[in-house]
Amino acid sequence: MTINERQDRIIEDFDGVDDWMDRYAMIIDLGNELPPIDPKYKTPQHLIEGCQSRVWLAASLNAEGRVEYTADSDAIIVKGIIALLIDVLNDQPPADIAAADLYFIDRIGLAENLSPTRSNGLLAMVRQMKLYAVAFQAKLDAEK
C-alpha cells in the first residue's frame, strides 16, 4: 500500500467515529498495539526534541531500500500518535516519505484536537521521521 492509500484507510477508519473521546480510545489502542522498541534505542540520541512527553524513535533501511521505524513513548496518547505515523510511513521508500503530504492528520481532526504542546510534538515526530528518510535517500543516492 502507498502512503496515500494508508492515509485514506485511516481517514475511513476514523470517519465513522464522531466523538473525540472514542477517537482518543482508537489512538490509544493503536499505541498499545505498537511493537516494543528495542531497549538499545531508549537513549537520549533517539529522543525527539520538541515533545512534552518522552518519545524515542529509531529508523533503519531494510534490504529492499525501504525505511522501517520503531518507536515508543511514556504517554499513551503520544504512543498512539506515533503508531499512526508509523502505520502510514513504515516500509516505504525514503523519497516517498520525504515528499509525503500527511493530509490524514488534518482530515481526522487530530491537529485541532491536540493541546498546543502535543501539536508541537506531533510536528517534531513528523519532522524527525522525514529527516531519517532524507538521510537514507542521500545514502542510497551516494551508493549509485
Which residues of the chain register pLDDT less than 50?
Answer: none
Closest CA to 110 of 34, 93, 102: 102
Task: Please report, rounded to a whole number, the percentage of residues in the chain having pLDDT higher than 70.
Answer: 99
Q: Could you read off the pLDDT of 111-128 as tens digits, one per residue?
A: 888 888 888 889 999 999
Q: Give pLDDT, residue 83.
A: 97
pLDDT for the residue 53: 86
Instruction: Specify the pTM.
Output: 0.94
Distance CA 68, CA 86 (A): 8
Neighbours of 7 (CB within 10 A): 23
Residues noted as catalytic? 51
Residue ranges in the chain assigned as alpha helix (H): 3-15, 20-33, 76-89, 94-99, 104-107, 116-143
Residue 117 and residue 77 in contact, taking contact as beta carbons nearer than 8 Å: no
